[in-house]
Amino acid sequence: MPEINLSMGKPDPLKIGAGITTGMALSATVGFNACTDYTVMGDVANIVSRLQGAAQPGEILVSSDVYDVVADTISGVEKRVLEIKGIDEPFEAYVLP
């Protein structure tokens, strides 16, 4: 996307990072009457939120479970060790190119 915008002389408006993990979570609509919201709860939701927060603009940070699936198809991957709130041990993440 940035290359397309830049080739047309436009700025790159997408300045976000993404986090991807996999696992089981509880998803539900919570609330009462007109004040309801859809939410996802569990360690997976916490981890993916922290991965997204740690990703720099334009980066995709994935958990080691996700990386293991795509490792044979991607090169030039950077490994990071993160301290994630709510997770006792250091967390391995990978920056996809």
pLDDT at 61: 97
- The 3-state secondary structure of 31-89, one letter per residue: EECCEEEEEEECHHHHHHHHHHHHCCCCCEEEEHHHHHHHHHHCCCCEEEEECCCCCCC
Mean pLDDT of the chain: 90
> What is the percent of the chain with per-residue pLDDT over 90, rounded to a whole number?
70
Confidence check: pLDDT of 94 > 70: yes
Q: What is the pTM of this model?
A: 0.78
In CATH, 17-96 is 3.60.20.10: no
Q: What is the pLDDT of residues 1-47, one digit of tens each?
A: 567 777 888 777 777 899 999 999 999 998 988 899 999 999 999 99
pLDDT at 2: 66
pLDDT at 6: 77
